[in-house]
Amino acid sequence: MTHTPGINDNLFIRGNVPMTKEEVRIISLCKAQITPECIVLDVGAGTGSFSIEAALMANKGHVYAVEKNPAALDLIKQNTAKFNVSDRVSVISGTAPDALNNIDSYDVVFIGGSGGNLIEILDVISAHINPGGRIIANAITLQNAGTVIEYMKQNDMYDYEAVLIQASRLKQTGNYDMMLGLNPVYIITCKVK
């Protein structure tokens, strides 16, 4: 069965852990081009929303969800159980890049959080990503977006592109409807040549 991206945010168990919002997640998943056999790495997995959708798409592959926050690790486990993908998602506790040491190769990497170690994470990923693989890096700061783009400029193994997504959601207030903006997010897609 094929999974179409777009699980509603309200269906995930949330707590106080950041989550890649549905609109950004959908575009990121489309840019990732996940196939059923893909091995996916989710760095800074948060609630596991990306990991879960990736596991549903890579139903013959596997997802590694790397997270350092204990509260988030618990949410990932709860959410993978809720969406019945626990057998396809390995939850790894630790800080990247050190937590990536036992994962040898992957086809798709999603970077949702870097804990200030973005260059080091990109170095480890570059050493282990499979030919034709993709990195999808989401950034909410200009500095992180600039760091990823500058890294790609200096590393000729990648082709890259970026989009800035600004989404708003309808909110009903009495008899009126208004749009409330979500944080703008840079989605940087890097493909191994």
Distance CA 187, CA 144 (A): 11
Contact criterion met (CB below 8 Å) for 23 and 167: yes
pLDDT tens track for 54-101:
999 999 999 999 999 999 999 999 999 999 999 999 999 999 999 998
Asked if residue 3 is part of any domain, the answer here is: no
Q: Characterise 115 by phi-psi region: left (phi > 0), alpha (psi -120 to 50), beta (else).
A: left
| pTM of the entire predicted model | 0.93
> In CATH, what number is assigned to the domain containing residue 34?
3.40.50.150
Asked if residue 110 is part of any domain, the answer here is: yes
Asked if residue 2 is part of any domain, the answer here is: no
pLDDT tens track for 17-34:
989 999 999 999 999 999
Give the HSE-up count for residue 62: Cα atoms under 13 Å, Cβ half-sphere: 9
Nearest to 28 by CA among 16, 45, 13: 45
The pLDDT > 70 percentage for the chain reads 99
Q: How many domains, in total, are found in the chain? A: 1
Q: Whole domain around residue 52: which residue ranges?
A: 9-192
pLDDT tens track for 33-46:
999 999 999 999 99
Distance CA 171, CA 168 (A): 9
Asked if residue 75 is part of any domain, the answer here is: yes
The SS3 of residue 91 is: strand
Q: Which residues have a Cβ under 8 Å from the Cβ of 87 and sit 6 or more positions away?
A: none
Looking at the chain, list the stretches that DSSP marks H as alpha helix, in order from N- to C-terminal side: 22-32, 49-57, 70-82, 118-128, 142-154
Asked if residue 136 is part of any domain, the answer here is: yes
